[in-house]
Amino acid sequence: MILTARLSKFVLVSHITSSVGWLGAVAVFLALAITGLNSQDIQLSRASCLAMELSAWFVIVPFCLTSLFTGIVQAIGTKWGLLKYYWVVVKLFLTIASTALLLLHMQPISYLAGVAAGPSFSNSRQSEQLIQLIEKAGATILVLLAVTTISVYKPWGRIQFGMPGKYMQNVKTQDPSSATGKSVGFYSLIGLLVLLALFIIIHLFGGGMGHH
């Protein structure tokens, strides 16, 4: 399925807008979490925690899901494809992983807002949760910046599908430096995916879930 030029532009604009909005909303969430942790004004700290839940549910989650959906539609409906290029696969993996972790963290965010709405709220007692949310928001910003960088530079090459014999013939006829570059890019991609998978597994089954 190839999108028409007009529809492709609409999907592209939607994807860029939602992706930038996602990054900006997480930055605001990070600022709110830092304020909630460090403010000496308990009312300001309470308001920051309540605003964190509102921004997460009504801004971050919609932007996140829209970015994921429009990214998939754009990949499928254009020449890039969904599984044709390494950089597209990496972007898809990072976006799906970020979306999954976001949805997993909505429960502790809502719990913190519920505590903030109560009369006995104290940011010092909730400091551990706030620090964890600050760390996760900072990590998310780094991931989204990485996704943006990948979108601009489009590193690695096209994924080679085909028979091994044909692939070996192509390797023999191509420039050695080009082949070396592609192999380095391929193994770098595999290493990145393994590290991300380990991070998610450790987060879900290690200390991460114990605090949710």
Output 102 or 157, whichever has higher pLDDT: 102
According to the model, what pLDDT value does residue 171 have? 45
User: How do residues 37-91 score in pLDDT, each as one tens digit?
Assistant: 999 999 999 999 999 999 999 999 999 999 999 999 999 988 888 888 988 998 9
Q: Which of 41-50, 119-128, 168-177, 196-205 has the lowest mean pLDDT?
A: 168-177
According to the model, what pLDDT value does residue 201 have? 54
According to the model, what pLDDT value does residue 155 have? 80
Half-sphere exposure of 133 (CA within 13 A, CB side): 33
Q: Which of 2-6, 39-43, 89-93, 116-120 has the lowest mean pLDDT?
A: 2-6
Asked if residue 106 has pLDDT above 50, the reply is yes
Kindly state the tokens that stand for 184.
């380095």
Domain boundaries, the chain: 5-157
As its CATH architecture, domain 5-157 has Up-down Bundle (1.20)
Q: SS3 sequence, 101-127? A: HHHHCHHHHHHHHHHHCCCCCCCCCCH
Asked if residue 160 has pLDDT above 80, the reply is no
Task: For residues 180-203, give the mean pLDDT.
Answer: 57
CB–CB of 46/27 below 8 Å?
Answer: no
User: How do residues 193-205 score in pLDDT, each as one tens digit?
Assistant: 556 655 655 555 4
User: How do residues 6-33 score in pLDDT, each as one tens digit?
Assistant: 898 999 999 999 999 999 999 999 999 9
- Residue 158 confidence class, pLDDT cut points 50, 70, 90: confident
Closest by CA position to 185, among listed 210, 205, 157: 157
Percent of the chain past pLDDT 90, that is, above it, reads 55
Q: Whole-number mean pLDDT of the chain?
A: 83
Task: For residues 160-165, give the mean pLDDT.
Answer: 56
According to the model, what pLDDT value does residue 68 have? 96
According to the model, what pLDDT value does residue 162 have? 55
Closest by CA position to 30, among listed 109, 118, 123: 109
Q: How far apart are CA 32 and CA 37, in angstroms?
A: 9
Q: How far apart are CA 163 and CA 4, in angstroms?
A: 33
